[in-house]
């Protein structure tokens, strides 16, 4: 009987040690997330990759007077961008909700200063995402004549 009890205690202790190690690994992963990355190098890399795709597809780089209908191409791309932005806006709504819920689990699960700090960061990120989403309204996506846009910008200053 004593062996079974010792084995049970050892199993519980090993399980708890494993859970602590997993939590420590989760924390390390969360703290390694870059929060202040420079954007321009990412843009350059993206442009280079798009150039490579274009050259592979068309056999040459994008050039002026290449025989394509550039205005039609641009309109089609703009329509695609609007679709992707609408999709992204909805996904951000969901992600913000998930961040809210995750912050509660982090705070309940760890109950220490690091967990509270992480929970606060998750809540702040969710609030920022919601603010970004709210700032993009259907009317801001609608066409406005240039004079109206200038008047709106002057009024905002």
- Contact indicator for 54, 61 with CB cutoff of 8 Å: yes
| pLDDT at residue 143 is higher than 60 | no
Q: Mean pLDDT, to the nearest integer, of 43-53?
A: 90
pLDDT digits (tens, 9 = 90+) for 76-95: 999 999 998 888 888 888 88
pLDDT digits (tens, 9 = 90+) for 88-118: 888 888 888 777 777 776 666 666 676 777 7
DSSP structure string for 127-147: HHHHHHHHHS-HHHHS---HH
Kindly report the pTM of this predicted structure: 0.47
Distance CA 105, CA 89 (A): 25
């Amino acid at each position: 009987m004593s062996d079974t009890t010792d084995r049970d205690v050892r199993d519980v202790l090993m399980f708890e040690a494993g859970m602590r190690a997993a939590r420590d690994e989760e924390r390390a992963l969360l703290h390694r997330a870059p929060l202040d990355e420079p954007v321009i190098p990412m843009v350059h890399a993206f442009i280079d990759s798009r150039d490579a795709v274009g050259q592979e597809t068309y056999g040459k780089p994008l050039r002026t007077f290449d025989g394509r209908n550039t205005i039609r191409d641009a309109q089609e791309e703009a329509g695609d961008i609007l679709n992707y932005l609408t999709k992204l806006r909805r996904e951000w709504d969901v992600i913000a909700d998930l961040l809210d819920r995750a912050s509660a689990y982090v705070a309940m699960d760890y109950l220490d200063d690091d967990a509270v700090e992480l929970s606060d960061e998750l809540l702040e990120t969710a609030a920022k995402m919601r603010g970004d989403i709210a700032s993009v309204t259907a009317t801001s996506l609608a066409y406005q004549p240039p004079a109206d846009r200038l008047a709106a910008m002057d009024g905002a200053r």
